[in-house]
Amino acid sequence: MNSDDAVVQFFLQNLSGCKPQKKHLSADCPFCQEKGLDPTGRLLVYLKEDGFFYGYFRCLNHCVPGGFPLWFAKLAGLDPFTVPGFDPDRELPFLSTDYPSSNLNKEISVHADSLTTALQTQFKQAGISKDVLAELHIGFNGRYLVYPYFQEDGNCYAARCVFPDRNEDFFWHGNETFFAEEHRLFNVQDISHCENGTLFLCVGENSLLVLKQLGFPAVAVPDLRTLETLDPTRFSFIKTLFLVTSNSTESDVSVRILASRIGYKVRPFRWAAGLPKDYTLFQLAQDKGKDIRAAVFAMIAAARAFSPFATPKREYEHFNEQLSMESGSSYGALKSGFPLLDEALDGIHGINIIGGAPKTGKSTFLIQAATEMALRRIPVLYYDFENGRQKIYNRTLCRLARLSIDSIRAGNYTDDEQLRYEDAAGRLKKMLHYFRVINDRQVTPEIMRRHIDFIRHETNSDFTVVVIDSLHKLPFKDFSERRTGIDAWLRQMESIRDELQVSFLVVSELSRGDGKSYKETPHLGVFKGSGDIEYSADNAMVLYPSWDALSTDPEKERKNKLWLVASREHSPGLVAEYVVDFPYWGFVEHPPS
């Protein structure tokens, strides 16, 4: 306990008979003395600085409801400005309720006095004492247990009457206005007692009784439907809200609905595997007996907020998993088949964008790289908006068989050509398990994710390569401007890359330079509608021809230079030269001259 802390000082100054301990403070209870109760009554204050209940006090005699410093100040008649953390400008939730002049207070008192010994014994089996039952005014009307729903004004206008051991048999009694869901908060006054502190929210009054017996502040709703409709503003000044429901799928759904509305202060209790459906905290108390305190503290420690972040432990595990995957053979196998390119990029990883002038062979280049990877059993999705799947398969077969398309169409082979054709056709057939062409011009990021998930499952692979030919022909249905659409797709590619371990090979068009040509010195600005390419691409490359792209002379050597113009991890520069392997629809890689 830090004696210099403001909360510690507040209680030391306003309590007598203080006995500081390591994690709590014990003192004479001033409220027991005011009420003429046990003059030796003791009050505990929890002062574990990193705990959820730092500053929470409770009387061991249950003479007043426990709470946090602002509630203590109100009970003791202290100036709230003396309370650490008091905000005079706070706006507490306001309920515009017209309370009637008549109430059930006297009737509830009679019912509380009528609680039978047999019923008290049933509660005792869960460790719940007479003091807690009296504090919550639990009663019996001769047939049904009576749970009074006192309101913020301190009066009871409605009660829920439940047949013992048969929770589905119940009815509401009292003023019908207070049967409405907005008034169905059992022990609602504990909300104001826990300002700037921690509170439990339970489904079921009996679970609340268990927590009150353990000394915790809690409110309860009777059912899941009420839980889902709670007004989040009721908990605006609660720092942490532990949520206790039964063990069921329906409860999990309701918890998520409420947590999404209240926010990350909600920490649901998590049930151990193997427990019966609809198992409750009350049943746990019956089963655990004296060990219930340790069990509840374990559940408190295990309760996690619906955080937008992974836990630090899971984050570290994920980092190690990724590191292990990247150290494996599958990651290392992500290579294009062009040795100089693979050396320059250390393989095909991340988002790789290749720009080039029209008719320079960008599609042929990527078809060759993509099919070579698929032949090595790397799953490839080829989104084609340029050539058509038949042309892609024809060109692949030509390259593998080293036969022209005219020869294949004619089908008149020499013996050697026949062998080459049959071998190539067999390889192509096997390759198609790993190579899927998509021509759907209505593709969306969501559809692409489903395609990736399918081929990963189909091929039992951790990594996938996605080829897009081309970026500027992706559908931009929801965007009025192409550049806006390109940037949106690039954002999606970044997300898919990181979430699904996907490598991208993307064709991009180039802008004409000042001289209306495509022969500028390579730089990021040459990409057409470049937008976010400079920010999204892990590697940006340009394929420039060293020949007249409009020439029809088939005998002229067609050589292209591939430049790496920008990279997150590698040095820019000339990568290699690629000579068209005419007429076999491929490229031969050479060191730059």
Could you read off the pLDDT of 122-170 as tens digits, one per residue?
999 999 999 999 999 999 999 999 999 999 999 999 999 999 989 899 9
Residue 312 has what pLDDT? Answer: 78
Could you give the percent of the chain with pLDDT greater than 70? 93
Mean pLDDT for the chain overall: 90
CA neighbor of 493 nearest in space, from 457, 462, 519, 467: 467
- CA dihedral over 404, 406, 411, 415, signed as positive or negative: negative
Placement of tokens 């204050």 in the chain: 45
What digits encode the pLDDT tens for the residues 452-489?
A: 999 999 999 989 999 999 898 888 765 456 667 888 89
Structure tokens belonging to residue 406: 């005219």
Identify the CA nearest to 473 among candidates 446, 426, 440, 424: 440
For residue 436, give the H/E element and its range: strand 435-438
250: confidence class by pLDDT, cuts 50, 70, 90: very high
472: closest CA among 350, 585, 354, 360?
Answer: 354
Give ∠ CA 549-554-559 in degrees, rounded to 5. 50
Q: Which domains does the chain have, with CATH numbers?
A: 6-82 (no CATH), 105-302 (no CATH), 329-590 (3.40.50.300)
pLDDT for 319 equals 83
Nearest to 561 by CA among 576, 582, 548: 576
| Distance, CA of 364 to CA of 391 (rounded, Å) | 10
User: Measured between alpha carbons, how far is 15 from 27 in angstroms, rounded to an integer?
Assistant: 6
Q: Which strands sit side by side in the sheet containing 19-20, from one edge to the other?
A: 19-20, 24-28, 42-46, 57-59
Tell me what the mean pLDDT of segment 196-200 comes to: 96
**pTM to 2 decimals?**
0.60
Section 309-337 average pLDDT? 84
H or E element at residue 221: strand 218-221
pLDDT tens, position by position, 528-575: 765 678 788 999 999 988 876 555 555 467 889 999 999 999 999 999
Higher pLDDT: 430 or 551? It is 430
Of 424, 456, 434, 463, the C-alpha closest to 374 is 434
- The pLDDT assigned to 40 comes to 87
CA dihedral 464, 468, 471, 472 (to 10 degrees): -150
The SS3 call for residue 475 is coil
Structure tokens at 495: 């997300």
Bridge partners, 436 (sequence order): 381
Q: How far apart are the first and last CA of the chain?
A: 75
Query: Percent of the chain scored above 90 by pLDDT?
Result: 73
Nearest to 212 by CA among 130, 283, 152: 130
pLDDT for res 404:
95
